[in-house]
Amino acid sequence: MVNWKIEENGFDEEKATGLGNKFLTGNGYMGIRGTLEEFKREQFPAINLSGIYDQVGNGWREPLNAPNGLFTRILAAGEEYALPEKECLSHKMTLDFRHGIFHRETAFQTVKGKVLLETQRFASMDEKHLICLKVKITPSFDGSLEVLTGIDGDVWDINGPHYDKVETGTEEEVICALGITHENKDEVVVCESFDAAFAAEEVTESAGRKIVRHLKLTVKAGEEYTFYKYISVYTSKDLQGYKEEAKALAVQAKSKGYESLYAKHCSKWEEVWNVSEVLIEGDDEAMESLNYSLYHLHSIAPRHSKSLSIAARGLSGQTYKGAVFWDTEMFMLDFFLFTEPEVAKTLLKYRIDTLEGAKKKAKGYGFNGAFYAWESQEGGFDACSDYNVTDVFTGRPMRTYFKDKQIHISAAVAYGIMRYVQFTGKDDLLKEGGAEVIIECAKFYYSLLVKRVNKDCYELWDVIGPDEYHERVNNNAYTNRMAKLTFDSAVNILENYTEQDSVLYKELYNKFKDAAEHLYIPSPDKETGVIEQFDGYEQLEEVTVSEVKSRLLHEKEYWGGAYGVASHTKVIKQADVVTMVNLFSGEYDKDTLYKNWAYYEPRTEHGSSLSACMYSMLACKCDMAEKAYPFFIKSAKADLVDGGKQWAGLIYIGGTHPAASGGAYMTAVEGFGGLHIENGTLKAESKLPDGWSKLSFKVYYLGELHQVTITKEEARVEKIN
């Protein structure tokens, strides 16, 4: 029986931060960390907002956390009973990941007797600006009890405070908090309406950045005291009149009532599952972790926008500056493309709309065309700093070259756009700016080509490939192949979408064709079949991952950069050549695919959550489902298992891993299910691991929904009418 719930029993303060990610709920507009209502900033509660950023001084520019409208604490005899300050008798949290419902129940021993506190909440899938919270209190004594519930504007920030000011106020039955940001004076408004099923004395109190309703109840042992909060969140970027809208929504939600909003929210979730659920017969654990991954992707999908992308840590906080990386196009896109193509379009539209930022970046380095931001924020601003890692020994920032040299980002954008065209069969995106993006990306690579006097081919020098531990290398196989894909795509665009007598065509066609034909792509070694990751990789020190690890002087020391322990060895951070041969597997025979898998796997640290799925998918292509399986589980459980990387030195780097979630999906459908396009037809192939008797899912192809069913014996793709 497949379980759509995860559970955590008992309270451990140490685990609270990690659980904030694991129990996340969200609706694309905002992500609510799976933290407790009574938490203050020290425990990292957050209602993290998409697409709005702020910078304070020289700190990192990062997304905003809204004033926390969930804030609730209970008091007995004037004393607050809240975690983690007070011990509890029992504590349990659950997340229904079928419907994005968070639930907790905690029993406290107060001076007056026991009190059970239960809450249930969701970020509405039906109304992006709305959070609904239900609170139930059951005392075991007769007497009085107090509740503080309201909006806490003293939010958790990594590089804040992002609000110069938080103004609080009351209007009729609604309480509000308005945060004004530092950099652009943007405003975030949170309003809350309240509905109690019991009588209580109520006073509204505001102090500092907080506004609360202070309730005094006379209670009876064993009775339940339930109240509801309807919390609306808007920013000044959403629309004019956002403050009025916020108030109106809070009032309106109250009149609709919790149960009806809950039902609507759940039915929206059922709608998305109706297309996207993946069924695995014979392996409940795999099915649960995979659909849990999909839950996370759904919770951060920008369905409310026509042009917005997903940050590398989703909506789980400010880690990685809330920025968009190649993760979106290379790891998450397929899921949306296959199950909700409109969302895929929204993600790619974001790149089209940030083209100006990419052109500016290219120009800044003296290149042509579009060099997309490595860590993209609104407008295509590159949030990646020149010093992106802190040296644990000196505490000094280390010069890193991710922003300057990870040129493969522009190719990821071109790849994403072409993949959209291939799977939807539509050219709407190309017409809406996608064609221009591809041309600009090709111009960028063209301006980077290096030609040696004694060679016929073009090369790309001084780059960083997916493996970030080896900086500033020449001819990274992945980068070169992806640049060729960009040239090929640009040639295709020029041939099919421009007039042959146009200036654009005449000026660029021959250049791009020549570049596509002559760009050097490292080929498999004649004897070993191995493709060298970059020029000179073979000469690096041959050493195991564990040996490299044992050379660390500090457990949090950075492995790459100038003197990192891996930099001068063959040990790599994540799938690099393997990513390339997986993407272009049709260009190599199975033996070569296998040889590269077998060569690079033992040399890979898998230090990035993006690594495992690539090894898994390639293993499937080499007919090694059993070898693929543990990597698949690793990807699918990236946010389920405790103990993921939470800190890098003093920097909090925890959060959810949507690229791993997307990677798990790709592994299931394209790896074990062998889904691919063959001469314009959608095909599947059975590559199921031992325990799986059946794999079935639905995908959109050329605008039509298809049912894919794979057993050990056959793989069927049928149109659903």
User: What is the binding site for ligand BGC (CB under 6 A)?
Assistant: 312, 320, 325-327, 466, 468, 573-574, 608, 610, 659
Which residue type occupies 460?
A: L
User: In the complex with ligand BGC, which residue's Cβ is closer, 100 or 466?
Assistant: 466
User: In the complex with ligand BGC, which residue's Cβ is closer, 287 or 312?
Assistant: 312
Return contacts of 379-387, CB within 8 angstroms, 24+ apart: 379/354, 380/354, 380/355, 380/356, 381/61, 381/357, 382/357, 383/53, 383/60, 383/61, 383/62, 383/321, 383/323, 384/323, 385/60
Distances (CA, A) of 198 to 56, 75, 88, 228, 391: 44, 17, 25, 11, 56
Helix residue spans in 406-476 (DSSP H): 408-424, 428-429, 435-446
- Which residues 6+ apart lie within 8 Å of 634 measured at CB? 606, 612, 660
CB of 383 to ligand BGC, least distance (A): 12
Three-state SS for 446? Answer: helix
CB of 479 to ligand BGC, least distance (A): 13
Return contacts of 713-716, CB within 8 angstroms, 24+ apart: 713/686, 714/686, 715/673, 715/674, 715/683, 715/684, 715/685, 715/686, 716/684
Placement of tokens 């654990």 in the chain = 285
CB of 373 to ligand BGC, least distance (A): 12
Residue 178 pairs with which residues in a beta bridge?
167, 189
Query: Is 685 a residue of the active site?
Result: no
Identify whether 84 is preceded by a cis peptide bond (ω within 30 of 0): yes
User: In the complex with ligand BGC, which residue's Cβ is closer, 102 or 335?
Assistant: 335
Structure-token pair, residue 572: 């790599």
- Which residues 6+ apart lie within 8 Å of 270 measured at CB? 99
223 neighbors 142 (Cβ within 8 angstroms)? no
Return contacts of 700-709, CB within 8 angstroms, 24+ apart: 700/275, 700/337, 700/338, 700/339, 700/340, 700/341, 700/423, 700/424, 701/338, 701/423, 701/677, 702/423, 702/424, 702/425, 703/341, 703/424, 703/425, 703/426, 705/275, 706/682, 708/669, 708/673, 708/675, 708/684
User: In the complex with ligand BGC, which residue's Cβ is closer, 124 or 611?
Assistant: 611
CB of 566 to ligand BGC, least distance (A): 12
Spatial separation of the C-alpha atoms in residues 657 and 484, rounded to whole Å: 29
CB of 531 to ligand BGC, least distance (A): 19
Spatial separation of the C-alpha atoms in residues 259 and 120, rounded to whole Å: 12
DSSP state, residue 451: E
Structure-token pair, residue 175: 């309480």
CB of 312 to ligand BGC, least distance (A): 4
Spatial separation of the C-alpha atoms in residues 186 and 190, rounded to whole Å: 13
311 neighbors 322 (Cβ within 8 angstroms)? yes
566 neighbors 573 (Cβ within 8 angstroms)? yes
Placement of tokens 């509801």 in the chain = 228
CB of 237 to ligand BGC, least distance (A): 25
Residue 528: count of CB within 10 angstroms of its CB: 13
| Cα 702 to chain centroid, rounded | 26
Q: Is 573 annotated as a binding residue?
A: yes
User: In the complex with ligand BGC, which residue's Cβ is closer, 289 or 608?
Assistant: 608
User: In the complex with ligand BGC, which residue's Cβ is closer, 573 or 706?
Assistant: 573
Structure-token pair, residue 283: 């392996």
Spatial separation of the C-alpha atoms in residues 188 and 163, rounded to whole Å: 9
| Cα 586 to chain centroid, rounded | 29
Distances (CA, A) of 718 to 75, 680, 699, 706: 59, 15, 10, 5
Q: Is 500 annotated as a binding residue?
A: no
Q: Is 574 annotated as a binding residue?
A: yes
Catalytic residue selected from 38, 329, 340, 468 = 468
The string of DSSP codes covering 384-395 is --S--EE-TTT-
CB of 468 to ligand BGC, least distance (A): 5
Three-state SS for 324? Answer: strand
> Which sequence positions are flagged as catalytic?
468
Known binding residues for substrate = 326-327, 573-574
Known binding residues = 326-327, 573-574
